[in-house]
């Protein structure tokens, strides 16, 4: 798993695409402003837009405008997600560096997510790969339900590995194993990750955990111990609503970027990210959505500046 020499891990920031774009009150100008702010933190990759049909997902209709108007920082990869070849044709005309797409190992989940069975989705990926390569864009794949499906249950490891191998042979630069509804546990993560890494495929392996059962950080550490060096996160945990949640609900399922970066740095694992700048981004996002995000680091920093000193006898009197 390669990253810049000064870093031990690479953090992929997903909040602009995986969170902000699903909040009705956010304007295109505000999205661009936050992406520019995130670009100053030292993050090496930012997932900023999706090229879905504007009629189906109007909140992504400004994808071209966002791509055109951001200030790209040297050394930062800017990524955009496409659902199909039509979306890819739009994306390759922008100044994005990377094209990404979603695919689920669970046939049932894939049908609900993309309205197609897995086989049909796989058959359409080569066209996306060719378009991207011909236009100088690298490729990233998100494998949904890599650690279990809410409709089909546990997915056999061999099914996941077969999809990973096929994607790698198509020239995908990074493949992210996504825990769609938070079903993963650290033992399972270590086992699957080690099996895939032992294949020594040319694609880099990443992980993307959802914190629906409060074990996402533990799963990140398990993945690191197994050899993964690329982690998808989102400032404050900002995310798309999960299946079954109302459109107006805010999702906070992703791993908060600031919490994982702080943990890695405290463990002596270098991220290359300026935590103060990162927390400024969290504060800016909270102002945009007009409510607190659920990451812990910003709250703990606020507390540590103004610690309240208690007399222990006072505490015992109230027990």
Q: Could you list the mean pLDDT of each consecutive 10-residue stretch along the chain, which spans 319 residues?
A: 65 94 86 97 98 89 97 97 97 98 91 85 95 98 94 93 97 96 95 98 97 95 98 94 52 91 97 97 94 91 54 48
Q: Would you tell me which CATH number, out of the four given (3.30.300.130, 2.40.50.180, 3.90.870.10, 3.20.20.70), belongs to the domain 10-317?
A: 3.20.20.70
Q: Domain ranges for the chain, please list them.
A: 10-317
CB 57 within 8 A of CB 20: no
Closest CA to 286 of 238, 216, 217: 238
Closest CA to 21 of 48, 42, 53: 48
Q: What is the pLDDT of residues 133-165, one digit of tens each?
A: 999 999 999 999 999 998 889 999 999 999 999
Q: Considering the entire predicted model, what is its pTM?
A: 0.91
pLDDT of residue 316: 47
pLDDT of residue 242: 60
pLDDT of residue 223: 98
Three-class secondary structure of residue 57 per DSSP? coil
pLDDT of residue 317: 46
pLDDT of residue 251: 65
**Displacement of CA 2 from its chain's centroid (Å):** 18
CB 145 within 8 A of CB 109: yes
CB 255 within 8 A of CB 231: yes
Q: Around Cβ 150, how many Cβ atoms within 10 Å?
A: 17
pLDDT of residue 23: 81
Three-class secondary structure of residue 151 per DSSP? coil
pLDDT of residue 305: 52
């Amino acid at each position: 798993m390669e990253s810049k020499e000064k870093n031990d891990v690479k953090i992929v920031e997903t909040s602009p695409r995986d969170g902000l774009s699903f909040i009705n009150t956010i304007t295109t100008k505000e999205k661009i402003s936050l992406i520019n702010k995130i670009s100053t933190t030292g993050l090496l990759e930012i997932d900023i837009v999706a090229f879905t049909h504007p009629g189906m997902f109007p909140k992504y209709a400004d994808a071209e405008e966002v791509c055109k108007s951001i200030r790209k920082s040297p050394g930062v990869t800017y990524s955009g997600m496409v659902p199909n070849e039509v979306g890819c044709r739009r994306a390759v005309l922008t100044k994005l560096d990377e094209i990404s797409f979603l695919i689920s190992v669970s046939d049932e989940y894939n049908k609900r997510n993309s309205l197609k069975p897995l086989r049909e989705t796989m058959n359409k990926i080569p066209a996306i790969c060719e378009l991207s390569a011909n236009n100088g864009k690298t490729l990233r794949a998100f494998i949904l339900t890599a650690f279990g499906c809410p409709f089909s249950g546990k997915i056999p490891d061999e099914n996941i590995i077969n999809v990973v191998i096929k994607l790698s042979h198509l020239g995908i630069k990074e493949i992210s194993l996504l825990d769609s509804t938070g079903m993963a546990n650290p033992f399972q993560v270590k086992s699957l990750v080690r099996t895939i890494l032992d294949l020594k495929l040319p694609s880099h392996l990443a992980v993307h955990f959802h914190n629906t059962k409060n074990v996402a950080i533990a799963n990140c550490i398990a993945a690191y111990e197994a050899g993964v060096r690329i982690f998808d996160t989102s400032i404050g945990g900002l995310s798309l609503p999960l299946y079954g949640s109302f459109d107006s609900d805010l999702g906070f399922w992703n791993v908060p970027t600031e919490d994982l970066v702080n943990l890695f740095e405290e463990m002596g694992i270098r991220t290359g990210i300026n935590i103060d700048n990162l927390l400024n981004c969290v504060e800016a996002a909270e102002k945009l959505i007009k409510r607190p995000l659920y990451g812990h680091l910003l709250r703990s920093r606020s507390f540590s500046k103004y610690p309240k000193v208690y007399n222990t006898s006072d505490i015992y009197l109230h027990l």
